[in-house]
Chains A and B, each alone.
Chain A
């Protein structure tokens, strides 16, 4: 079982978590053309490389972010969502 380190609960088996997929760019729905909107809905980040994605620690319902390599499955780091806002 892979380990995922929850920023709040520490390292846990990954079956305690639920993946919510890669973080997506925020779009203003009204200022977005139809084609870009459908692209936003259906195209997900899937490049070979590192993605930033949302995870939920199910027992504590804590949501956080992880940087993970989609090829090696290595988790580079995990962090609280507040840091994402700081980065943005």
Chain B
């Protein structure tokens, strides 16, 4: 039994950790105001406080802590992207996850059991080869496997179908995994607040005071806050919040839905996803099977669920694993994703000198929580964008330097 548990058992009272301090009064000014109390904002706050000595930081969250996409994503962590820029960035993200529990002294349950993406068409196999070649070149564990390889990695998959949905092979990404999404945010929140960062829940940003090319202050439902630097990290609300500052982002919002079954004894070790079926499955450490897929087909800011998406995901899941027919679904939910034209995030500078962007995370934001926070903190502290983030600049949409990630993301998040 781990020592910690023994300590709990032997202490008379519950050993209060006080992870999240109650929301304090807003001060008139902070060096850095972070809008969005989700994983990214909290990660940035932690890195500012711990590694850059910036402790006058307020994280403003309009609802409850990490209640947006941090709480709604399906926790996939991977770096098997298709562009060198993307792989470099997400690779650092995976590496940070590998030591995150120690960094935060909070078990985020990073479970690196690998991700197997399935191809049902030759075109998909070709794109897998591309991802594998880039991945290997960049030093990640990404390889193409044939039908036999797929069977060895996931013996329970239904390989019997001929025709258009036959599994031709897969992309095996041994670095892939999952983590407990809430724990990531709570761990960052606990660490950041221990170093003096203030977390303000139920604090909604309602506008910006912009003078010249600078944000002077942020207006909230709890009053005005002057700011040195401002970061926007509000997930599905990024477009909306940036617009309040007069910055129009190339983002469209689409709901992304997911669902979860009742708890089952472990049977699925890896993450499995299918490009053609727009379905992926992963079994959590609680035993629930989390099932997700592609975004909704039209723009929307609502987190309502739909029956058709649920039917579609069930169809995909049962196709891959026919014995799931009798497994029961417990819950479905949705988040709002902020999709960019090239399926890649927007990080770095905005047209305003002290307003920084951590936006456009679409369906792949969770896996970047540590690295985006780390690199955005560095950006804010130094006042300039590090090389690793430069490809993700907002200006790329004016210079046509789009990141060619289209095709690497569908149903794979």
Contacts and interface: CB of A to CB of B under 8 A. Distances in A.
A52 to B, nearest CB: 12
A44 B341 CA distance: 10
Interface in A56-88: 70-73
A30 interface: no
Contact of A15 (B239, B253, B304, B308): B308
Given A46-B299, A70-B299, 6 more contacts: A15-B308, A21-B252, A21-B299, A38-B397, A43-B249, A47-B239
A21 B253 CA distance: 12
11 contacts: A1-B307, A19-B298, A21-B299, A38-B400, A42-B341, A47-B240, A51-B299, A53-B298, A70-B299, A73-B300, A73-B304
Contacts of B304: 73
A75 to B, nearest CB: 11
Is chain B's binding surface mostly helix, strand, loop or mixed? Answer: loop
B253 A70 contact: yes
B23 interface: no
Contacts of A42: 250, 341, 397
B400 A1 contact: no
Contacts of A26: none
Contacts of A35: 398
A72 B303 CA distance: 10
Contact of A48 (B251, B298, B301, B308): B301
Contacts of B397: 38, 41-42
A34 interface: yes
Contacts of B152: none
A70 B301 contact: yes
B398 A46 contact: no
Interface in B275-305: 297-302, 304
B248 interface: yes
A43 B299 contact: no
Interface in B361-398: 397-398
B308 A46 contact: no
Given A1-B307, A42-B341, A47 B243 contact: yes
Nearest to B238: A46
Interface string B34-68: 00000000000000000000000000000000000
A21 B302 CA distance: 17
Given A1-B308, A19-B297, A42-B250, A48 B400 contact: no
B262 interface: no
Contacts of B307: 1
B59 to A, nearest CB: 23
Given A15-B308, A19-B297, A38-B398, A46 B302 contact: no
A44 B252 contact: yes
Nearest to B239: A46
Most buried by A among B239, B250, B298: B298
B301 A71 contact: yes
Contacts of A18: 297
Contacts of A41: 341, 397
A51 B298 CA distance: 12
Contacts of B308: 1, 15
Contacts of B299: 19, 21-22, 44, 46, 51, 53, 70
B250 A43 contact: yes
Given A35-B398, A42-B341, A48 B240 contact: yes
Contacts of A71: 301-302
B306 interface: yes
Interface string B90-105: 0000000000000000
A51 B301 CA distance: 12
Contacts of A43: 248-250
Contacts of A1: 306-308
Give me the 5 closest cross-chain CB pairs, A-B, nearest first.
A19-B298, A42-B250, A42-B397, A38-B398, A71-B301
Contacts of B239: 46-47
B302 A72 contact: yes
Nearest to B307: A1
Interface in A20-34: 21-22, 34
A41 B250 CA distance: 9
Contacts of A22: 299
B357 to A, nearest CB: 14
A72 B301 CA distance: 8
Interface in B303-320: 304, 306-308
Interface in B388-413: 397-398, 400
A18 B297 CA distance: 8
